[in-house]
Amino acid sequence: MTKISIFILFSVLLFAILIFIWLYVFNIYETRITVNPSNLSQNYNSKVVIEAIPLNSFGKKAIFRSVSIKYDVISGNDLVRIAKTNENKINVYSNGEVGEVEILITLSVGMFPTKVKILIN
């Protein structure tokens, strides 16, 4: 093989590897919404963290990618107060009353919103 054919073969192989990495490692295929913990207690110090994690095709967190969250409280607005910590995470704090809160989470990369229910005991 000549030097030019080795260079062309190496360039095509490098291009194929870069395309594979872009499509399967960096690209967002799914977004997982985690609610930790799933319930709030009645005291004022309890909090629930709702986080959106972008996943690549291997089911791992997509490298160098983030997802922004928009939220709307459907029911129980007077039971909680919400603080957005960064673009992919919100904190929900209890106001000290018992009830159920429904929050509609809309992601920047998703087509449909997700409804999250938080029970306050």
What are 28-80's pLDDT values in tens digits? Answer: 999 999 999 988 888 888 999 999 999 999 999 998 989 999 999 999 889 99
Domain count within the chain:
1
* HEC secondary structure over the chain: CCHHHHHHHHHHHHHHHHHHHHHHHHCCCEEEEEEECCEECCCCCCEEEEEEEEECCCCCECCCCCCCEEEEEEECHHHEEEEEEECCEEEEEECCCCEEEEEEEEECCCCCCEEEEEEEC
- Give this prediction's pTM: 0.82
Q: What is the pLDDT of residue 116?
A: 95
pLDDT digits (tens, 9 = 90+) for 6-35: 999 999 999 999 999 999 999 999 999 999
Residue 108 maps to which CATH number?
2.60.40.10
Q: How confident is the model at residue 82 (pLDDT cuts 50, 70, 90)?
A: very high
* pLDDT score of 1 more than 80: no
Domain that holds residue 91: 3-120
Q: What is the pLDDT of residue 38?
A: 85
Task: Give the pLDDT mean for 69-95.
Answer: 92
